[in-house]
A and B are shown apart, each in its own frame.
Chain A
Amino acid sequence: MAATVIAQGITIEGDLTADDEVVVQGTLRGKLSSRDRVSIDAGALVEADVTGASLSIGGQVTGNVTASDRVDLVAGGKLVGDVKAARLTIADGASFKGNVDMDV
């Protein structure tokens, strides 16, 4: 069980910061940052810049994403925005538009 869950049906507009894992199943507009893992599940809608240790994107994200470890764009995920992470995977069936900065 994740520490913070934005459940389906819930909309958050604002600035969310967390020390622990964050799971988004609903809607988030604004800014999201966590020191831990961030999961954006299928069905979620995120219009925000997202920062985390590792990011898994299965929903729809519009905004720039930054991860200290990795970003995984899983099947069904949709990302419009720039990625800054040392490691990035884009699964078959995911869509992505933006720039990638792997900090080389």
Chain B
Amino acid sequence: MAKPTSRADSSTASAATEAVLGRGAALRGRVQGHGNVRVEGKLEGDVAIDGCFAVAQGGEVVADVQAGSLDVDGALEGDVTVSGAVVVRAGARVVGVVRGATVSVEEGASFSGRIEAEFDMPPELGGKAAR
């Protein structure tokens, strides 16, 4: 019934199969692939995924992260490059450079580093035309 576009397929598949690094789990190394990843434990290394990378409360990540989107409520240290939205929640501690299409930081979050949000300059300021 629904149009079986690959986009819809991949999003439903990734929603159903979220990878989780649970509380009490620790990973040293590289995580890559398709889908979403949530970290409740400790991760040290490198992350390159196309879905959402989430650091839950209590989660500790020291890694360079490339992801589709980012949602942090734990501790994250590293360079982050995200094609979509970055949400830094109230319980988060972030250290590093964060690049994303949109970046939001909730009140109560601790952030030390740089935020680079991509946006088009308005035409009157000589930038590319606004979307």
Contact = CB atoms under 8 A, between A and B. Distances in A.
9 contacts: A3-B20, A3-B23, A4-B41, A5-B20, A12-B30, A13-B30, A14-B45, A17-B25, A19-B23
A93 interface: no
A20 B25 contact: yes
B12 interface: no
A14 B30 CA distance: 6
A4 B17 CA distance: 12
B117 interface: no
Interface of B: 13-14, 17-37, 40-41, 45, 49
Contacts of B27: 12, 14-17
A18 to B, nearest CB: 4
Contacts of B40: 3
B26 A20 contact: no
A11 B30 CA distance: 8
Closest 9 CB pairs of A and B: A14-B29, A3-B22, A19-B24, A18-B25, A9-B34, A7-B19, A7-B17, A10-B33, A4-B22
Contact of B32 (A11, A16, A20): A11
Contact of B18 (A5, A13, A16, A19): A5
Q: How large is the interface on A (under 10, 10 to 19, 20 to 34, 35 or more residues)?
A: 20 to 34
B101 to A, nearest CB: 23
A52 to B, nearest CB: 13
A5 B2 CA distance: 29
Contacts of A11: 30-33
Contacts of B34: 9-10
A8 B15 CA distance: 12
A7 B33 CA distance: 10
A16 B131 CA distance: 43
Nearest to A12: B31
A30 B29 contact: yes
Nearest to B37: A10
A4 B25 CA distance: 7
